[in-house]
Amino acid sequence: MTGIITSRLPFTAELAFLAIAVVLLVAVPLGMAVAIASRGGRRRRLGTGFTFTTSLAGAVPEYILGTLLVLVFAIMLGALPAAGAETPSALILPVLAVAVAPICTLARIVRRETAAVLDQDYMRTARGKRLPALTLYTRHALPNLLTSTLTLGGLILAHMLGGTIIVESVFAWPGLGTRVVEAILNRDYPVIQGVVLTLGVIATLLNLLIDVLLGVLDPRTLTGKADRT
């Protein structure tokens, strides 16, 4: 059992962490951009379209989205491989299938938190100083909205591990997901227990990483004095 986990864990870790990177790199800028563009009730159609699109895309299960991606990009267009792990391009479709729903959820959270941060007095002061937009949003808005965003985002990212297991079966990705499905069909309970325990450890480490990032971004979270300042 140890050999099975050690041989397949790198594939699952590669897929999961690439998906997490894509989620963070897309969801945070997207949510901020929509919140900034629609601040103060402006561009209502943009806000409505964003909410509708993210709600619709986020509701699609990973295995259905994965199947649609295979149908479009692998079968109809022939642009990407449908399964396996022989080439780096084989990662694209599984990563997209895992990442789309968390991107939609996290982007909505970031938009809400950004809107709240932009209404704070220190942001009005910063705008009054006519700071450049890049400085205004990256130095003053981003650190303050990330503390609350990462708290909820950690739960979303840990939940992605379950989606990774399902997506691996769709794309025949040689990770823990494919193996655990085989173990379930064969009633191989030791392998099932070992894989579930391994995924639990990964989820715990991911939440620990989020807590460390929160401590770096806002040291008050480590002292419990956030509400006193």
* Range 147-165 average pLDDT: 73
Mean of all residue pLDDT scores within the chain: 81
How far apart are the C-alpha atoms of 91 and 168, rounded to whole Å?
10
Q: Is the pLDDT of residue 226 over 50?
A: no
Q: Is the pLDDT of residue 225 over 50?
A: no
How far apart are the C-alpha atoms of 44 and 101, rounded to whole Å?
23
- For the CA atoms of 162, 55, 92, 69, the dihedral, rounded to the nearest 10 degrees, stands at 100
CATH assignment of the domain containing 158: 1.10.3720.10
**In the prediction, which pLDDT does 26 show?**
92
Q: What is the pTM of this model?
A: 0.80
Lowest mean pLDDT among 8-22, 29-43, 64-78, 211-225: 211-225
Residue 193: other Cβ atoms inside 10 A: 12
**In the prediction, which pLDDT does 52 show?**
92
* Range 64-82 average pLDDT: 89
The confidence band for 223, taking pLDDT boundaries of 50, 70 and 90, is low
* Range 178-193 average pLDDT: 81
Q: Which domain holds residue 201?
A: 2-228
Distance (Å) of CA 189 to CA 48, 60, 180: 47, 30, 9
Distance (Å) of CA 192 to CA 52, 77, 180, 184: 38, 37, 6, 7
Query: How long is the chain?
Result: 229
How far apart are the C-alpha atoms of 48 and 44, rounded to whole Å?
6
Q: Look at the chain and report how many structural domains it folds into.
A: 1
DSSP assignment of 143-188: HHHHHHHHHHHHHHHHHHHHHHHHHHHHTT-TTHHHHHHHHHHHT-
**In the prediction, which pLDDT does 228 show?**
43
How far apart are the C-alpha atoms of 171 and 81, rounded to whole Å?
9
Lowest mean pLDDT among 76-80, 89-93, 199-203: 199-203
